[in-house]
Amino acid sequence: MEGIIAAHEQLEKRGNLAKTIQDVQKTIDLLQNARDSVANDPDSAALTMAKLKQPVKQSFDKLDDDLKDVNKGLNQYSKALDKKFKKNALPTASTKPLAEQPDLINRAIVMHLLREGKFEVANTLVSQLNERARSGQDDGMEDRRPRPISNVGDAIKSWVQELAYPEAWEAEGGMEMGSPTGRERGWLQEKFTEMYHILDSLRNQHDLGPAIEWAKSHSRELEQRGSNLEFELGRLKFVELFTSEDVMSDDPWEGPTRALEYARTVFPNFSARYIRETSNLLGSLAFSANLEQSPYEAMFFNQSAWEEASASFTREFCGLLGLSEKSPLYTAVTAGGIALPVLEKVERVMAQTRGQWTSVNELPVETPLPTGFRFHSIFVCPVSKEQGTDANPPMMLPCGHALAKESLDAHARGKPRMKCPYCPVECAPKEAKRLFI
């Protein structure tokens, strides 16, 4: 620090701008006198300007001399600062957190392979993991060896139920790590095999039978989830029967008749929840001769109907298994690839400007991602304008309005009842429920 102090004292000594200010004022006075002289005698303007040239040049040269000492002091001070606070490389992303979680990485890879229908590849990977685990155990490498997995189905069953491996090793003759019971062998392979069989029927064969049967067998679970899948499949079946033609029949009403018979059998199950939709479908029977010019054209000539049904089925099938519609590994890699150019630019700019990344739980810049990759919305309290956190979560009042917990406490002020800040409804603060976005 002695060098910085000495350079600072030298800067104070050489950085006195009082003389420079005086010289600037003299230059200003010189120019003002010339202006007044020209104003009083316009005919002498050329002579006055000619006489002014040399004094002004001398004034600017004097100003440059005055500022040389100031610049020299600044340079010495900057060098002293750079010498004391050397440039440090911006910390790079570390793979250590991932390296310390081999179970999670293996789980993500195997789950992705299973979701893609690569069952043989998943089994091969699990076999190799087991071999590495056993060889690591034999070599005494207990701290670095991966945990053994008995088989893919047992392992994934455990991952789905517990989202982590147990902490204890099982006896050699019993269950190994990540396998709850031997009877559950191949559990998830069977599930995804069933899913791909139904998807093949939907996408490639346009056969709704397997999907409808699956939806019927899981009708209660789907209803609890608020799913529309069963009705969507029934509606698509109605449209298929309505528009299908029998080459062996000359009856133009055969398709609508089959659709009507199907509606009489199936639609009563949906009437309570989908009364408007079923009424519209039945109303289309009146326009069967000219559907293309009817209000139901979009319903009967939807080119993406089968793909939408396949996506809806995939979403609900995975949802009943406690899984997301898309592979988490695919989502993470794709989102990371989209965000990588932005993060690379941020790191480059911060390295050049010697900036610091001080935010712990957030990025220094916004990383735009497509809508399909946004899973966690940010809640901003409408009262305090602060972003919600785990310590200050969003709370929903009985009236439906939401505000942060700290704002709720401040608004209630310990009173047994309070008024919503956005509507006249009164409630007790304890009636507010935490929102999970």
Look at residue 132 in the predicted model and tell me its pLDDT: 79
pLDDT of residue 167: 32
pLDDT value at position 357?
Answer: 57
pLDDT at 179 exceeding the cut of 80:
no
What pLDDT shows up at residue 84? Answer: 65
| Average pLDDT of every residue of the chain | 75
Of residues 10 and 272, more confidence is placed in 272
Q: Are 180 and 161 in contact (CB under 8 A)?
A: yes
**Which of 107-116, 208-217, 239-248 has maximum average pLDDT?**
208-217
**Confidence (pLDDT) at 269:** 83
**Over 70: is that where the pLDDT of 360 sits?**
no
Closest to 257 (Cα-Cα) out of 243, 273, 270, 271: 243
Q: How confident is the model at residue 359 (pLDDT cuts 50, 70, 90)?
A: low
pLDDT of 274: 85
Per-residue pLDDT of 87-104, as tens digits, reads: 544 445 445 556 677 777
Q: Out of 3.30.40.10, 3.40.50.720, 3.90.470.20, 3.40.50.2300, select the CATH number for domain 379-437.
A: 3.30.40.10
- pLDDT tens, residue by residue, 244-290: 866 455 566 777 888 888 888 888 888 778 888 888 888 888 887 78
CB-based contacts of 275: which residues, under 8 Å, 6+ apart?
Answer: none
pLDDT at position 211: 92
Whether the pLDDT of residue 162 is over 50: the answer is no
Tokens of 251: 């009856």
Highest mean predicted confidence (pLDDT) among 123-137, 145-159, 336-350, 406-420: 406-420
Of 61-65, 110-114, 155-159, minimum mean pLDDT range: 155-159
Q: What residues have CB less than 8 Å from 15, skipping those under 6 apart? A: 69, 70, 73, 74
pTM: 0.53
Tokens encoding 222: 């789907």
Average pLDDT over every residue of 138-165: 45
Query: Is pLDDT larger for residue 116 or for residue 93?
Result: 116
Query: Are the beta carbons of 273 and 231 closer than 8 angstroms?
Result: yes
% of residues, the chain, pLDDT over 70: 74
Q: Does 201 or 357 have the greater pLDDT score?
A: 201
Within 321-361, residue ranges assigned H as helices are 328-353
Domain-by-domain residue ranges, the chain? 2-84, 98-165, 190-320, 379-437
Spatial contact of 394 and 364, defined as CB atoms under 8 Å apart: no
Contact 74, 10 (CB under 8 A): no
Residue-level pLDDT at 371: 77
pLDDT at 213: 92
Can you give 9-59 as a three-state secondary structure string?
Answer: HHHHHHCCCHHHHHHHHHHHHHHHHHHHHHHHCHHHHHHHHHHHHHHHHHH
Q: How confident is the model at residue 210 (pLDDT cuts 50, 70, 90)?
A: very high
Q: Is pLDDT at 388 greater than 50 in this prediction? A: yes
Predicted pLDDT at 214: 92
